[in-house]
Structure 1
Amino acid sequence: MGQVQDRITETLTERFAPSHLEVIDESALHAGHMGARPEGETHFRIRITAEAFRDKSRLQRHRMVNEAVAAELAGPVHALAISADVPA
């Protein structure tokens, strides 16, 4: 894992105590696209399951994740794909 991926993982773990978390660097799939950098860590897919999302709409869940990683979005991260669910 890279430094940005580590920070995102750490931040989401601390904020939401997820029962499941995947932070996938998909930067290689976007090479040459807007926002891509040669060193990568610009495009991520987040799959997170946490009790904190219960009774929240899909939009609210996405906003919660975006707010948690706002520092990365303001800097090195160009794009996030988010799947935020509640435990079954």
Structure 2
Amino acid sequence: MAMKPGDIEDMIRAGIPGAKVTIRDLAGDGDHYAAEVVAEAFRGKSRVQQHQMVYEALKGNMGAILHALALQTSAPE
């Protein structure tokens, strides 16, 4: 069972309040997405820490229901 882009976006926004989230379906199969997440909460954190925050917001769905997610994360400019 694949995740819907809106569900991914909602989970990230709930886990990282104030985040600007853009989701794209890369393969049209509902299993391979790209996410761009811009959040003040990322400021001063390493890229690995930023990605960990996104995975935490996805509450264990990464690698299970959500097969692949290409992440681009940053703090606002």
Q: TM class, shorter-chain normalised?
A: 0.7 to 0.9
Shift of 1:7: 1.2
Q: Show structure 2 runs of 5+ residues with no match.
A: none
Contact 2:21–2:38 at 8 Å: present in 1 too? yes
In 2, the alpha carbon distance for the partners of 1:5 and 1:42 equals 10
Alignment of 1:71 with 2:60, yes or no, is: yes
**Residues 1:83 and 2:72 are matched in the alignment:** yes
Alignment RMSD (CA, Å) = 1.8
Identity percentage of aligned residues = 29
CA contact (8 A) 1:4 1:72 kept: no
- Kept after mapping to 1: 8 A contact 2:23/2:34: yes
The structure that has the greater radius of gyration is 1
3-state DSSP of counterpart to 2:44: coil
Count, aligned residues? 75
- 1:61 paired with 2:50, answer yes
Q: Is the 8 A contact 2:25 2:33 kept in 1?
A: yes
Question: How many Å separate the matches in 1 of 2:41 and 2:27?
Answer: 28
Question: Runs ≥4 in structure 1, deviation > 3 angstroms?
Answer: none
Please list every run of 5 or more consecutive structure 1 residues that lacks an aligned counterpart in the other structure: 29-39
Contact 2:50-2:73 within 8 A present in 1 as well? yes
